[in-house]
A and B are shown apart, each in its own frame.
Chain A
Amino acid sequence: MSSNICTPENLVYKKTSLLTDKVMHYCPGCGHGTIHRALMEVVDEMGLQDKTIGIAPVGCSVLAYDYMNIDMQEAAHGRAPAVATAIKRLMPEKFVFTYQGDGDLAAIGTAETIHCCNRGENILMVFVNNAIYGMTGGQMAPTTLEGMKTATSPYGRDVEKVGWPLRITEMVAQLNGVWSASRHTVHTPAAVMKLKKALKKGIEDSMAGKGTCFVEVCSSCNSGWKMSPVEANKWMAEHVLEYFVPGDIKVDGKMVR
C-alpha cells in the first residue's frame, strides 16, 4: 500500500550524487559515512562540485576519495593541512577542505594543523574525533578518554603517563587565523542537520577569505570501542561529549566559550 507513494514527485530524501556508488568500507554504524554524506550534500546544494578539491587523510577515511565524487588528493599521514594550504594558495578561487581523523590531525599532523590554522588558510577543516585509532585496530588516540581501554592502553588511559585527551579544537580556536571553531556529532538526525549548517557556513566563510574554518565532529567507533553501533552512540553521548562538549567555540572570529 505504501509503495504507491514511492514515486519521484514524492521523493524527500535520497543519497546525493556527490557520493559515488562504491560501497563504503566502513564498519556498520560508523559515523564517517554520515559525515561524508553531510559534507557532500552541502557541496551539492551549493553547486560547488567543479570548484571543490578535498584532501583525504591517512586513517579509516583514507579512501574518502573513492566515495566523494569530487577531485581529491590523498595526503601523507598528518600532512593534509599542508596539502590544502598549497592547493588553496595556488588556486584561491577553489573550495578546499581537509577531512582528517584524530590521529592524523591531532597527533602526527599537529604541526601542520597548528601552522595551517595560524596562517589562517582559507580552507575548511573537518576533524573527525572518535577517540581511537580505528584503522590500525583500536589503539590509543590523542583524544582517547581518561581510563578508556584501547589496544595500547589495555588498562585504561593513564593520564599521568601519556597525558590528557587533547582538545585540539579549543587549542586552534585561540589562533588569530581561525575564523570559526565548533564541535558537532552525528548520532541524531538533529545533530546531522546542525553539522550541515556549520559545514555550509564554513564553506561560505572560507571561500570569502575569512580564515580557517574548523569543524570537529565527534563520532563513535563501535568496532574500536567494542560495542554495538547503537550502544556506541549512547556511550558517546554519555561519556565522550562530557569531555568534548559540543557547540560553538569561536564564531566569526570571536571566542564564545
Chain B
Amino acid sequence: MAKFKGSIVVDKERCKGCGICVSICPNKTLGMSKEVNGKGYNFAVMVAEETCVGCASCGRICPDGVITVYRAKED
C-alpha cells in the first residue's frame, strides 16, 4: 500500500487558536504555537511534521477555514 506524506499551511493571522484541529488530528501532528499572532492568539502549527498524512481532517473541521492541506505519495 502506498504511503502518503502530508503537510499543511496555516493562515496564522486568521487562526483564532481554538485548538479543535489539534484535538481531532488522528496522528497528533498538530499543536499550538508558543508565539501569538497579531490578534494575540496562539495558532495551529505542525509539531510532528513527519506524522502528517494529509488526511485533511483539520482543514475540514477548522471553523475559520485557515488550513490548506497538501498530500503527496511517498517515494
Give yes or no for direct A-B contact (beta carbon below 8 Å): yes
Query: Footprint of B on A, CB under 8 Å?
Result: 1-3, 5-7, 10-16, 19, 23-24, 26-34, 37, 186-189, 192-193, 222, 228-230, 233
Asked whether A229 lies within 8 Å of B70 as measured between CB atoms, the reply is: no
Q: How far is the CA of A98 from the CA of B16 in the complex (A)?
A: 27
A-B pairs with beta carbons under 8 Å apart, 6 shown? A5-B7, A12-B56, A15-B65, A23-B14, A29-B18, A222-B18
Chain B proximity of A195: nearest CB distance (Å): 10
- B-chain residues with CB within 8 Å of residue A27 when the two chains form the complex: 16
Q: How far is the CA of A28 from the CA of B42 in the complex (A)?
A: 11
- A-chain residues with CB within 8 Å of residue B16 when the two chains form the complex: 27-29
Asked whether B20 lies within 8 Å of A2 as measured between CB atoms, the reply is: no
Asked whether A7 lies within 8 Å of B63 as measured between CB atoms, the reply is: no
Closest to B17 in A: A28
Number of interface residues of B (CB under 8 A): 37
Chain B proximity of A94: nearest CB distance (Å): 25
A-B contact sample (10 more), CB < 8 A, given A5-B5, A229-B20? A5-B6, A5-B71, A23-B14, A28-B63, A33-B64, A34-B62, A186-B61, A189-B56, A222-B18, A233-B23
Closest to A11 in B: B70
Asked whether B49 lies within 8 Å of A12 as measured between CB atoms, the reply is: no
Chain B proximity of A56: nearest CB distance (Å): 17
Chain B proximity of A199: nearest CB distance (Å): 14
Q: Is B47 an interface residue (CB 8 A)?
A: no
Chain B proximity of A185: nearest CB distance (Å): 11
Residues of B27-75 whose CB lies within 8 A of A: 41, 46, 49-50, 52, 54-72
Q: How far is the CA of A148 from the CA of B64 in the complex (A)?
A: 28
- Interface residue SS majority, chain A: mixed
Chain A proximity of B20: nearest CB distance (Å): 5
Asked whether A29 lies within 8 Å of B56 as measured between CB atoms, the reply is: no
Chain A proximity of B41: nearest CB distance (Å): 7
Asked whether A15 lies within 8 Å of B68 as measured between CB atoms, the reply is: yes
**Residue among B14, B24, B56, B72 making CB contact with A13, cutoff 8 Å:** B56
- A-chain residues with CB within 8 Å of residue B52 when the two chains form the complex: 2
Chain A proximity of B27: nearest CB distance (Å): 13
Asked whether B68 lies within 8 Å of A32 as measured between CB atoms, the reply is: no
- A-chain residues with CB within 8 Å of residue B54 when the two chains form the complex: 10, 12
Q: How far is the CA of A8 from the CA of B9 in the complex (A)?
A: 12
- A-chain residues with CB within 8 Å of residue B59 when the two chains form the complex: 13-14
- Residues 12-26 of B, flagged 1 when their CB comes within 8 A of A and 0 if not, give 001011111011100
Asked whether A230 lies within 8 Å of B19 as measured between CB atoms, the reply is: yes
Q: How far is the CA of A189 from the CA of B17 in the complex (A)?
A: 18
**Residue among A14, A16, A30, A230 making CB contact with B63, cutoff 8 Å:** A30
